[in-house]
Amino acid sequence: MLSHTTPLNTDATKNVLTHPLPMQARYCIKCKDFRPLASFPPPLDDDAPGCIRVKLMQNSLCNRHEHDDEEKERFCKKCNAFSPVCNFAAGEKSYTCNTHKYLRADKEKNKRHRDQPEQKRKMRPWRLCYNDRIKFKQSCINLKPNDIESLLQKIDPTLQTVCVVVPKDPLLIVSMQNFVVINDCDRNPLLRHIKNKNNQAYANMLPTITLLDSSLPHIIHPP
């Protein structure tokens, strides 16, 4: 006995094939799943401003995620990582965070200063003091170039005498409360005691070569 079956080429089948059902969901690239069509923003027109990649990105993100105009993080090329938007300069679409932007600006500023003879003369004693901090196993100094220049001017207003600044107490950071001004020729013999880890010899040598002491406002031994 032959069973009655509906042939495949019926009118109902043709309507389904030629008129597909409207799309009810769309794939979200961040959820990695299909979300209801109502969860997506209206599609952008082809004439809307912006590149095609941005349009496709906005049309593929559901309303659970932040869009480009409400971004919370941005990629920094120097950090090679994402950072909060507040760490970037406001009013521009920059991909260099403020930290690296300031470092680059400081390098350019220091380069301009190195090209000026007056700045070279001012920075030399400060740079010596800053580099000597490594020998004292310290991370920083609490003296600025202008501070050191003012100390050296007390000894020689013309700054013709070559002097350097070292800490009075080698265990403390050099500052306006802990400094000693000595001649440049006495620097290496004095630091040799620090290299040999002989702080007592360092303290014994200081009084014989000190020109200016943080505890005394006047010159002790004229150069």
Rounded Cα gap, residues 78 and 100, in angstroms:
7
Whole-number pLDDT of residue 48: 53
The least confident of 63-67, 107-111, 138-142 is: 63-67
What pLDDT score was predicted for residue 22? 64
Categorize the per-residue pLDDT at 30 as very low, low, confident or very high, splitting at 50, 70 and 90. confident
Q: What is the mean pLDDT of residues 105-112?
A: 73
pLDDT of the residue at 53: 47
Mean pLDDT of the chain: 77
Percent of the chain with pLDDT over 70: 74
Q: How far apart are CA 141 and CA 133, in angstroms?
A: 7
Pick from 21-30, 43-52, 92-101, 126-135: least confident: 43-52
Strand locations in the chain (E): 25-28, 33-36, 73-76, 81-84, 163-166, 180-183, 212-213, 216-219
Dihedral sign computed on CA atoms, order 136, 141, 146, 147: negative
Q: Give me the pLDDT at residue 120, please.
A: 77
pLDDT value of position 68: 47
pLDDT in tens, 186-210: 999 999 999 999 999 999 999 999 8
Whether residue 157 is predicted with pLDDT greater than 60 in this model: the reply is yes
Residue 165 has pLDDT above 50, yes or no: yes
pLDDT digits (tens, 9 = 90+) for 41-78: 776 665 555 545 445 555 677 877 655 455 678 888 88
Burial (CB count <10 Å: 0-12, 13-18, 19+), residue 49: exposed
